[in-house]
Amino acid sequence: MIDPTGAAPGLRERKRLATRRAIQVAVLELVADHGVDGVTVDMISRRADVSPRTFFNYFASKEDAIVGDAPDLPMEAADAFVVGQGPLLDDLLELLDESVQTVIVDRELVRRRRLVLRAHPDLFARRVASMREYEEGLSKIVERRLAEAPAVADSGDDESSVASRAHLVALVVMAALRHAWAEWLDDDDEHHADVLRFGLRARMEASIGDLRRLVSREV
């Protein structure tokens, strides 16, 4: 996980991330060549230059390595969002940015995974399920913020109404995140200033900005 203080990861963390990435690259390369059933943990370990024991320190199965990690919602960032005083979408952008940093954000790796998952609907379904859990977690955090907002408290809205609004916010913001993710993956201009300087963060800002402009006026 990325240090919430913004400090660069230490040597041990960099090695851990490098090993985790190597395992994922290895399994995706092998599956592309041999199919899921034709790949074993021993094959993955040899390709990644790790022992099978090390493989299982990182992933419970080859399928887990193929699907990869869903983003996490860091507790400190979530708590900061709940008590945030800024515009809701702006504060959500900061939370999402912190969240995305909890996984390996590597366009080459993500592109490889996308190709494999498209060819294996059962694994794609597992990835969708993990992202749905993430969405539900985000909805709960938004619900906490809305429930504690003075305007909501004074309105007399019941818990079900607040939960419904929070779910709507989470759905819409997740759609914007997916849009940003797709734009980032499909951007082939490696010299584009935004890609070099900000990468996915810039795409997230652009998608949230477009969403804000669209909902603030009739189109």
3-state helix, strand, coil in the chain (%, to 5): 75, 0, 25
CATH number for the domain running over 75-105+120-215: 1.10.357
With beta carbons less than 8 A apart as the criterion, state whether 161 and 134 touch. no
Report the CATH superfamily, name and number, of domain 11-67: Homeodomain-like (1.10.10.60)
- pLDDT tens digits, 18-49: 999 999 999 999 999 999 999 999 999 999 99
> Is the model's pLDDT at 1 over the cut of 60?
no
Tokens read off for 115: 């190709």
CATH 1.10.10.60 intervals, the chain = 11-67
Name the pTM for this structure: 0.79
- pLDDT tens digits, 51-98: 999 999 999 999 999 999 888 999 999 999 999 989 999 999 999 999
- pLDDT tens digits, 84-133: 989 999 999 999 999 988 787 788 888 899 999 999 999 999 999 999 99
CATH 1.10.357 intervals, the chain = 75-105+120-215
> Is the model's pLDDT at 150 over the cut of 70?
no
